[in-house]
Amino acid sequence: MPKALAGDANAAAGLCRYLEDEHLVQCMPLLYEASIPSPVFRLILHRALVSSFDFRNTIKAAGSREHFVQWCRYASFEPPNTLPDMVPIHRGTFGCAAADAATGLHWSFSFNMAAWFALRRERRYPGEGEPLVVSAWVPEASLVFYSDVAGHQEVIPETAPTEYRVNNSRWCLEDGARRAVEFFMLLGALKVKPERCFSSPRPCSSGSTGDLNGYLAPEQHTARTAHGSAVIRLLAGAGVSLSALTRDKAHSLVLNGR
């Protein structure tokens, strides 16, 4: 702990591995008040938000969303690439009003990923409501967190958007979720990590919804799809050979439409 407080990145990484998620979150106020170096604080905060998925307890430890934003600003999460002044973000959930969905913390640059999350949660908790995706345009400068772990393209806006549109079309959500799954499968077939794959895909496109296999977790798809028929069909339909396919091309085919 003393070395982590002094800014030792290796010690901070060890702290992340050693502590249970709950205890790691409880350490965040201490680490922030100690003004540990920004890169080290960023590593630990990223773990608390993404690796542990402990969103609510992280906000609780910060005391408020405003104080949490201060943490993110101090951590200085870098944007994935040059972004326009206004960017579209999407949040998928289920079983709540759109106004409540818009107050949520985690959003994505990808409509498809948001749709995948909405339908995946519905499959986990059947009978508890309908899936929906809320979408909003926000200033790029208002985004305080970026992460592309597992290709989810996550972002967190400084404040909850007050203007948004709602998409609860079952067909459109299933089509978007299918494209997200295809992206996971392509990454698995190519054996590449989904880093720096941010974009702003089109909300909907034509095509069969198909079977999404219960919207399994990305790692489950990756483990089983190196020779999956869905990958082969996708590549054949696009006229692309696996040997010639790059990560950027895969991303364009699946997330931005064919």
H helix or E strand, kind and range, residue 165: strand 165-167
Comparing 96 with 242, the larger pLDDT belongs to 96
Question: What Cα–Cα distance (Å) separates residue 168 from each residue in 91, 94, 96, 156, 162?
Answer: 12, 9, 12, 22, 18
The verdict on pTM exceeding 0.75 is no
pLDDT computed for residue 167 by the predictor: 95
The amino acid that residue 67 corresponds to is H
pLDDT interval class at 56 (50, 70, 90): confident
What is the mean predicted confidence (pLDDT) over 97-102?
Answer: 94
pLDDT digits (tens, 9 = 90+) for 206-230: 332 222 333 333 333 333 333 334 4
Task: Show Cβ contacts of residue 231 under 8 Å, excluding neighbours closer than 6 positions.
Answer: 182, 185, 186, 189, 225
pLDDT digits (tens, 9 = 90+) for 7-51: 566 666 666 565 655 567 777 888 888 888 888 888 888 877 876
pLDDT digits (tens, 9 = 90+) for 143-177: 999 888 767 789 999 999 999 999 999 999 999 99
> Domain locations in the chain?
2-75, 86-167, 170-255
pLDDT computed for residue 227 by the predictor: 31
Six-digit token string for 38: 């920004």
